Protein backbone atom coordinates (compact mmCIF):
# COMPACT_ATOMS: atom_id res chain seq x y z
CA UNK A 1 0.00 0.00 0.00
CA UNK A 2 2.86 2.37 0.92
CA UNK A 3 4.52 1.75 -2.45
CA UNK A 4 1.25 2.63 -4.19
CA UNK A 5 1.05 6.03 -2.46
CA UNK A 6 4.72 6.66 -3.22
CA UNK A 7 4.04 6.03 -6.92
CA UNK A 8 1.15 8.54 -6.94
CA UNK A 9 3.28 11.22 -5.27
CA UNK A 10 6.08 10.72 -7.78
CA UNK A 11 3.59 10.89 -10.67
CA UNK A 12 2.17 14.21 -9.42
CA UNK A 13 5.68 15.60 -9.03
CA UNK A 14 6.57 14.69 -12.62
CA UNK A 15 3.35 16.29 -13.94
CA UNK A 16 4.11 19.47 -12.00
CA UNK A 17 7.60 19.71 -13.44
CA UNK A 18 6.32 19.18 -16.98
CA UNK A 19 3.23 21.39 -16.98
CA UNK A 20 3.75 23.89 -14.15
CA UNK A 21 1.98 24.16 -10.79
CA UNK A 22 -1.32 22.31 -10.40
CA UNK A 23 -4.21 24.46 -11.57
CA UNK A 24 -1.95 26.91 -13.41
CA UNK A 25 -2.93 27.65 -17.00
CA UNK A 26 -0.42 26.83 -19.71
CA UNK A 27 1.73 29.83 -20.54
CA UNK A 28 0.62 31.68 -23.68
CA UNK A 29 2.81 33.68 -25.99
CA UNK A 30 0.63 36.32 -27.75
CA UNK A 31 3.16 36.45 -30.55
CA UNK A 32 2.70 32.77 -31.25
CA UNK A 33 -0.28 32.20 -33.58
CA UNK A 34 -1.71 29.22 -35.40
CA UNK A 35 -1.10 29.12 -39.14
CA UNK A 36 -4.67 28.63 -40.39
CA UNK A 37 -3.39 28.56 -43.95
CA UNK A 38 -1.69 25.25 -43.22
CA UNK A 39 -2.98 22.65 -45.72
CA UNK A 40 -3.49 20.17 -42.88
CA UNK A 41 -5.64 22.59 -40.86
CA UNK A 42 -7.60 23.68 -43.95
CA UNK A 43 -8.25 20.06 -44.89
CA UNK A 44 -9.31 19.16 -41.33
CA UNK A 45 -11.63 22.15 -41.14
CA UNK A 46 -13.23 21.26 -44.49
CA UNK A 47 -13.85 17.70 -43.38
CA UNK A 48 -15.59 18.99 -40.25
CA UNK A 49 -17.63 21.58 -42.13
CA UNK A 50 -18.53 19.21 -44.98
CA UNK A 51 -19.27 15.73 -43.63
CA UNK A 52 -18.97 12.91 -46.12
CA UNK A 53 -22.16 12.70 -48.22
CA UNK A 54 -24.02 9.44 -48.36
CA UNK A 55 -25.74 7.32 -50.96
CA UNK A 56 -29.50 7.58 -51.33
CA UNK A 57 -31.10 5.60 -54.10
CA UNK A 58 -33.28 2.57 -54.64
CA UNK A 59 -32.93 -0.36 -57.01
CA UNK A 60 -35.07 -3.04 -58.59
CA UNK A 61 -34.09 -6.45 -59.93
CA UNK A 62 -34.92 -6.80 -63.60
CA UNK A 63 -36.95 -9.88 -64.53
CA UNK A 64 -37.52 -10.03 -68.26
CA UNK A 65 -39.34 -13.33 -68.51
CA UNK A 66 -41.30 -13.62 -65.27
CA UNK A 67 -42.66 -10.16 -64.43
CA UNK A 68 -43.94 -9.66 -60.92
CA UNK A 69 -45.49 -6.71 -59.18
CA UNK A 70 -42.94 -3.92 -58.86
CA UNK A 71 -40.73 -5.37 -61.59
CA UNK A 72 -40.38 -4.53 -65.26
CA UNK A 73 -41.87 -6.77 -67.90
CA UNK A 74 -39.88 -7.39 -71.04
CA UNK A 75 -41.35 -5.36 -73.86
CA UNK A 76 -42.98 -7.49 -76.57
CA UNK A 77 -41.05 -7.41 -79.82
CA UNK A 78 -43.52 -6.05 -82.33
CA UNK A 79 -40.95 -6.52 -85.07
CA UNK A 80 -37.67 -8.28 -85.69
CA UNK A 81 -34.96 -5.86 -84.45
CA UNK A 82 -32.47 -6.85 -87.17
CA UNK A 83 -34.19 -4.88 -89.95
CA UNK A 84 -34.06 -1.84 -87.67
CA UNK A 85 -30.29 -2.17 -87.30
CA UNK A 86 -29.93 -2.43 -91.07
CA UNK A 87 -32.23 0.54 -91.52
CA UNK A 88 -30.18 2.52 -89.00
CA UNK A 89 -26.95 1.75 -90.87
CA UNK A 90 -28.36 2.72 -94.26
CA UNK A 91 -29.71 5.97 -92.80
CA UNK A 92 -26.31 6.76 -91.30
CA UNK A 93 -24.64 6.33 -94.68
CA UNK A 94 -27.32 8.43 -96.38
CA UNK A 95 -26.43 11.24 -93.97
CA UNK A 96 -22.63 11.10 -93.89
CA UNK A 97 -22.34 10.68 -97.66
CA UNK A 98 -24.53 13.70 -98.40
CA UNK A 99 -22.76 16.80 -99.71
CA UNK A 100 -24.20 18.91 -96.87
CA UNK A 101 -22.76 16.66 -94.17
CA UNK A 102 -19.36 16.40 -95.88
CA UNK A 103 -19.08 20.19 -96.20
CA UNK A 104 -20.13 20.61 -92.55
CA UNK A 105 -17.61 18.02 -91.31
CA UNK A 106 -14.79 19.48 -93.42
CA UNK A 107 -14.93 22.83 -91.61
CA UNK A 108 -11.82 23.45 -89.46
CA UNK A 109 -12.00 22.26 -85.86
CA UNK A 110 -14.99 20.64 -84.19
CA UNK A 111 -18.13 21.05 -86.34
CA UNK A 112 -20.28 23.97 -85.25
CA UNK A 113 -24.05 24.23 -85.06
CA UNK A 114 -26.81 21.69 -84.51
CA UNK A 115 -27.26 18.93 -87.09
CA UNK A 116 -30.37 19.87 -89.05
CA UNK A 117 -29.86 17.13 -91.64
CA UNK A 118 -33.15 15.31 -92.33
CA UNK A 119 -31.43 11.93 -91.98
CA UNK A 120 -30.42 12.79 -88.41
CA UNK A 121 -34.07 13.00 -87.37
CA UNK A 122 -34.62 9.54 -88.88
CA UNK A 123 -31.56 8.19 -87.04
CA UNK A 124 -32.93 9.47 -83.74
CA UNK A 125 -36.32 7.88 -84.40
CA UNK A 126 -34.85 4.47 -85.26
CA UNK A 127 -32.41 4.34 -82.34
CA UNK A 128 -35.21 5.36 -79.92
CA UNK A 129 -37.19 2.30 -81.05
CA UNK A 130 -34.12 0.11 -80.68
CA UNK A 131 -33.41 1.50 -77.19
CA UNK A 132 -36.70 0.06 -75.94
CA UNK A 133 -35.51 -3.41 -76.96
CA UNK A 134 -31.98 -3.23 -75.48
CA UNK A 135 -32.85 -4.77 -72.11
CA UNK A 136 -30.50 -6.04 -69.39
CA UNK A 137 -30.05 -9.72 -68.52
CA UNK A 138 -32.44 -11.23 -66.01
CA UNK A 139 -31.36 -10.58 -62.44
CA UNK A 140 -29.61 -7.28 -63.21
CA UNK A 141 -29.78 -4.66 -60.47
CA UNK A 142 -31.25 -1.45 -61.88
CA UNK A 143 -30.93 1.96 -60.19
CA UNK A 144 -34.19 3.92 -60.07
CA UNK A 145 -34.13 7.54 -61.26
CA UNK A 146 -37.18 9.17 -59.62
CA UNK A 147 -39.76 10.44 -62.11
CA UNK A 148 -41.43 13.47 -60.52
CA UNK A 149 -44.01 16.04 -61.50
CA UNK A 150 -43.86 19.84 -61.48
CA UNK A 151 -40.09 20.07 -61.20
CA UNK A 152 -38.62 23.56 -61.36
CA UNK A 153 -34.92 23.00 -61.99
CA UNK A 154 -32.81 25.87 -63.32
CA UNK A 155 -29.66 24.67 -65.07
CA UNK A 156 -27.19 27.15 -63.57
CA UNK A 157 -24.63 24.83 -62.01
CA UNK A 158 -25.50 25.68 -58.40
CA UNK A 159 -27.52 22.59 -57.34
CA UNK A 160 -29.47 24.82 -54.96
CA UNK A 161 -33.03 23.68 -55.71
CA UNK A 162 -34.46 21.55 -52.86
CA UNK A 163 -35.39 18.77 -55.32
CA UNK A 164 -31.75 17.72 -55.63
CA UNK A 165 -31.51 16.86 -51.94
CA UNK A 166 -35.12 15.84 -51.34
CA UNK A 167 -35.98 13.76 -54.42
CA UNK A 168 -32.97 12.89 -56.56
CA UNK A 169 -31.12 9.59 -56.51
CA UNK A 170 -27.77 10.41 -54.90
CA UNK A 171 -24.70 8.26 -55.52
CA UNK A 172 -21.12 8.73 -54.32
CA UNK A 173 -18.91 8.06 -57.37
CA UNK A 174 -15.59 9.45 -56.11
CA UNK A 175 -12.39 7.80 -57.26
CA UNK A 176 -9.08 7.46 -55.39
CA UNK A 177 -10.48 9.08 -52.25
CA UNK A 178 -12.15 12.04 -53.99
CA UNK A 179 -15.62 13.02 -52.81
CA UNK A 180 -17.76 13.28 -55.94
CA UNK A 181 -21.52 13.08 -55.68
CA UNK A 182 -23.87 12.28 -58.58
CA UNK A 183 -27.55 13.33 -58.60
CA UNK A 184 -30.19 11.94 -61.00
CA UNK A 185 -33.79 13.11 -61.36
CA UNK A 186 -36.39 13.19 -64.14
CA UNK A 187 -39.77 14.51 -65.17
CA UNK A 188 -41.88 13.65 -68.21
CA UNK A 189 -39.64 15.71 -70.51
CA UNK A 190 -36.08 15.69 -69.19
CA UNK A 191 -33.42 13.74 -67.37
CA UNK A 192 -31.65 16.04 -64.91
CA UNK A 193 -28.04 15.38 -63.90
CA UNK A 194 -26.11 17.03 -61.10
CA UNK A 195 -22.58 16.55 -59.83
CA UNK A 196 -21.00 18.01 -56.70
CA UNK A 197 -17.22 17.64 -57.13
CA UNK A 198 -16.42 18.47 -53.51
CA UNK A 199 -12.66 18.07 -53.86
CA UNK A 200 -12.34 19.94 -57.17
CA UNK A 201 -10.77 23.19 -55.97
CA UNK A 202 -9.71 24.82 -59.24
CA UNK A 203 -11.96 26.62 -61.69
CA UNK A 204 -9.75 26.26 -64.73
CA UNK A 205 -8.19 23.21 -66.30
CA UNK A 206 -9.74 20.31 -68.15
CA UNK A 207 -12.58 19.79 -65.67
CA UNK A 208 -15.49 18.02 -67.33
CA UNK A 209 -18.62 16.02 -66.49
CA UNK A 210 -19.60 13.30 -68.98
CA UNK A 211 -22.70 11.10 -69.11
CA UNK A 212 -22.68 8.20 -71.61
CA UNK A 213 -25.68 6.15 -72.74
CA UNK A 214 -27.01 4.10 -75.70
CA UNK A 215 -24.17 1.70 -74.97
CA UNK A 216 -25.91 -1.42 -76.25
CA UNK A 217 -28.71 0.05 -78.35
CA UNK A 218 -27.20 -1.00 -81.66
CA UNK A 219 -23.95 -2.57 -82.90
CA UNK A 220 -23.54 0.55 -85.06
CA UNK A 221 -23.48 2.94 -82.05
CA UNK A 222 -20.75 2.82 -79.39
CA UNK A 223 -22.45 5.47 -77.26
CA UNK A 224 -24.08 8.85 -77.13
CA UNK A 225 -23.01 11.33 -74.48
CA UNK A 226 -23.00 14.87 -73.21
CA UNK A 227 -19.93 16.81 -72.10
CA UNK A 228 -20.36 19.64 -69.60
CA UNK A 229 -17.46 22.04 -69.07
CA UNK A 230 -17.35 25.72 -68.18
CA UNK A 231 -20.53 27.23 -69.68
CA UNK A 232 -20.94 24.76 -72.52
CA UNK A 233 -22.60 21.44 -73.18
CA UNK A 234 -22.06 19.30 -76.24
CA UNK A 235 -23.85 16.21 -77.46
CA UNK A 236 -21.83 13.58 -79.28
CA UNK A 237 -22.55 10.19 -80.82
CA UNK A 238 -19.62 7.82 -81.23
CA UNK A 239 -20.41 5.31 -83.97
CA UNK A 240 -18.76 2.13 -85.18
CA UNK A 241 -19.31 3.19 -88.79
CA UNK A 242 -16.40 3.78 -91.17
CA UNK A 243 -16.19 6.03 -94.20
CA UNK A 244 -16.53 3.78 -97.25
CA UNK A 245 -15.85 6.07 -100.21
CA UNK A 246 -12.75 7.89 -101.49
CA UNK A 247 -10.00 8.38 -98.86
CA UNK A 248 -9.30 11.79 -97.32
CA UNK A 249 -7.27 14.22 -99.42
CA UNK A 250 -6.40 16.89 -96.82
CA UNK A 251 -6.25 17.52 -93.08
CA UNK A 252 -9.84 18.78 -92.92
CA UNK A 253 -10.98 15.35 -94.11
CA UNK A 254 -9.05 13.38 -91.48
CA UNK A 255 -12.40 12.50 -89.85
CA UNK A 256 -12.81 9.96 -92.65
CA UNK A 257 -9.93 7.90 -91.20
CA UNK A 258 -11.80 6.94 -88.03
CA UNK A 259 -15.16 5.72 -86.82
CA UNK A 260 -17.62 8.53 -87.46
CA UNK A 261 -18.03 10.90 -84.49
CA UNK A 262 -21.33 12.76 -84.74
CA UNK A 263 -21.01 16.15 -83.03
CA UNK A 264 -23.81 18.53 -82.00
CA UNK A 265 -26.68 16.06 -82.10
CA UNK A 266 -28.68 17.65 -79.24
CA UNK A 267 -30.44 20.95 -79.64
CA UNK A 268 -32.46 20.74 -76.41
CA UNK A 269 -29.72 19.65 -74.00
CA UNK A 270 -28.36 22.21 -71.56
CA UNK A 271 -25.58 22.21 -69.03
CA UNK A 272 -23.14 24.39 -67.14
CA UNK A 273 -20.96 24.46 -64.04
CA UNK A 274 -20.31 26.83 -61.16
CA UNK A 275 -17.47 27.40 -58.75
CA UNK A 276 -17.67 28.73 -55.22
CA UNK A 277 -15.73 26.56 -52.79
CA UNK A 278 -15.66 23.72 -55.31
CA UNK A 279 -16.85 22.77 -58.78
CA UNK A 280 -20.50 21.80 -59.38
CA UNK A 281 -22.23 20.70 -62.57
CA UNK A 282 -25.84 20.66 -63.74
CA UNK A 283 -27.29 19.34 -67.00
CA UNK A 284 -30.56 18.31 -68.58
CA UNK A 285 -31.17 15.92 -71.47
CA UNK A 286 -34.46 15.96 -73.35
CA UNK A 287 -35.87 12.44 -73.23
CA UNK A 288 -37.48 12.49 -76.67
CA UNK A 289 -34.45 13.97 -78.43
CA UNK A 290 -32.02 11.60 -76.69
CA UNK A 291 -34.19 8.51 -77.12
CA UNK A 292 -34.03 7.63 -73.42
CA UNK A 293 -37.13 5.63 -72.46
CA UNK A 294 -39.35 5.96 -69.40
CA UNK A 295 -40.17 2.81 -67.39
CA UNK A 296 -37.68 0.77 -69.46
CA UNK A 297 -34.07 0.15 -68.29
CA UNK A 298 -31.13 1.72 -70.11
CA UNK A 299 -27.38 1.37 -69.57
CA UNK A 300 -25.01 4.26 -68.91
CA UNK A 301 -21.76 5.29 -67.30
CA UNK A 302 -20.35 8.52 -65.86
CA UNK A 303 -16.94 10.21 -65.79
CA UNK A 304 -15.86 13.35 -63.93
CA UNK A 305 -12.48 14.65 -65.04
CA UNK A 306 -10.13 16.94 -63.13
CA UNK A 307 -6.88 18.68 -64.05
CA UNK A 308 -4.42 16.42 -65.90
CA UNK A 309 -0.98 15.46 -64.64
CA UNK A 310 1.99 17.19 -66.26
CA UNK A 311 5.67 16.33 -66.00
CA UNK A 312 8.33 18.81 -67.08
CA UNK A 313 5.59 20.92 -68.64
CA UNK A 314 4.32 18.05 -70.79
CA UNK A 315 1.01 16.24 -70.55
CA UNK A 316 1.36 12.84 -68.87
CA UNK A 317 -2.11 11.51 -68.05
CA UNK A 318 -5.74 12.41 -67.47
CA UNK A 319 -7.25 12.31 -63.99
CA UNK A 320 -10.76 11.17 -63.07
CA UNK A 321 -12.18 12.17 -59.69
CA UNK A 322 -15.47 10.38 -60.31
CA UNK A 323 -16.57 7.27 -62.17
CA UNK A 324 -19.65 5.07 -62.28
CA UNK A 325 -19.52 2.11 -64.65
CA UNK A 326 -17.58 1.82 -67.90
CA UNK A 327 -18.29 1.22 -71.57
CA UNK A 328 -17.78 -2.53 -71.09
CA UNK A 329 -19.31 -2.73 -67.60
CA UNK A 330 -22.14 -0.17 -67.56
CA UNK A 331 -24.64 0.60 -64.83
CA UNK A 332 -28.34 0.10 -65.56
CA UNK A 333 -30.91 2.79 -64.75
CA UNK A 334 -34.67 3.13 -65.05
CA UNK A 335 -36.72 6.33 -64.97
CA UNK A 336 -39.67 5.38 -62.81
CA UNK A 337 -42.42 7.11 -60.86
CA UNK A 338 -41.97 7.24 -57.12
CA UNK A 339 -44.59 7.18 -54.38
CA UNK A 340 -46.45 10.42 -53.76
CA UNK A 341 -45.40 10.47 -50.11
CA UNK A 342 -41.75 10.19 -51.17
CA UNK A 343 -42.10 13.26 -53.39
CA UNK A 344 -43.28 15.27 -50.43
CA UNK A 345 -40.51 14.32 -48.03
pLDDT at 230 over 90: no
Q: Are strands 331-337 and 298-305 parallel, antiparallel or unpaired?
A: antiparallel
pLDDT for res 30: 35
- Domain positions in the chain are 56-64+79-343
How much of the chain is in helix, strand and coil states, percent to nearest 5? 25, 30, 45
| pLDDT band with cut points at 50, 70 and 90 for residue 143 | very high
pLDDT at 266 over 70: yes
pLDDT for res 202: 79
Question: Could you tell me if 122 and 204 are in contact, meaning their C-beta atoms sit under 8 angstroms apart?
Answer: no
Tens of pLDDT, residues 284-316: 999 999 999 999 999 999 999 998 888 888 888
pLDDT for res 68: 47
Tens of pLDDT, residues 106-116: 988 877 889 99
217 or 338: whose pLDDT is higher? Answer: 217
Average pLDDT for 211-222 = 96
Tens of pLDDT, residues 13-44: 444 444 443 333 333 333 333 333 333 333 33
Nearest residue to 67 via CA among 296, 335, 293, 291: 296
Computed over every residue of the chain, the mean pLDDT equals 82
Average pLDDT for 109-126 = 92
pLDDT for res 29: 37
What's the CATH number for 56-64+79-343?
A: 2.60.40.1190
pLDDT for res 51: 55
113 or 130: whose pLDDT is higher? Answer: 130
Kindly state the percentage of the chain with pLDDT values over 70: 77
Average pLDDT for 117-137 = 96
Handedness of CA 16, 19, 25, 27 (dihedral sign): positive
53 or 306: whose pLDDT is higher? Answer: 306
pLDDT for res 134: 93
| pLDDT band with cut points at 50, 70 and 90 for residue 49 | very low
pLDDT at 342 over 60: no
| pLDDT band with cut points at 50, 70 and 90 for residue 232 | confident
Average pLDDT for 271-291 = 95
> With helix as H, strand as E and coil as C, how does the chain read?
CHHHHHHHHHHHHHHHHHHCCCCCCCCCCCCCCCCCCCHHHHHHHHHHHCCCCCCECCEEECCCCCCCCCCCCCCCCCCCHHHHHHHHHHHHHHHHCCHHHHHHHCCCCCCCCCCCCHHHHHHHHHHHHHHCCCCCCCCCEEEEEEECCCCCCCCCCCCCCHHHHHCCEEEECECCCCCEEEEEEECCCEEEEEEEECCCCCCCCCCEEEEEECCCCCCCEEEEEEEEECCEEEEEEEECCCCCCCCCCCHHHHHHHCCCEEECCCCCCEEEEEECCCEEEEEEEEHHHHCCCCCCCEEEEEEEECCCEEECCEEEECCEEEEECCCCCCEEEEEEECCHHHHCC
pLDDT for res 82: 72
Q: Choose the weakest-confidence range: 165-169, 228-232, 303-307.
A: 228-232
pLDDT for res 339: 67
Amino acid sequence: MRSKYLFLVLAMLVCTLLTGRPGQAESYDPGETVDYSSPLIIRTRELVEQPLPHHRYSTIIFRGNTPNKGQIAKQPLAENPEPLHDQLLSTFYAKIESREYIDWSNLPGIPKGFQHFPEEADIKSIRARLAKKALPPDGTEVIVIPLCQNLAVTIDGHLDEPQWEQLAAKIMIGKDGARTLLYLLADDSNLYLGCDAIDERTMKGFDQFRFYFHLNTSPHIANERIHVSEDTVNGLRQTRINWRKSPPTNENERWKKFHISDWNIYQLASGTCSFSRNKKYEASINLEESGLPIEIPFSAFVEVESDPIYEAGKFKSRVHIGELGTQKRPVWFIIQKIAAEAQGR
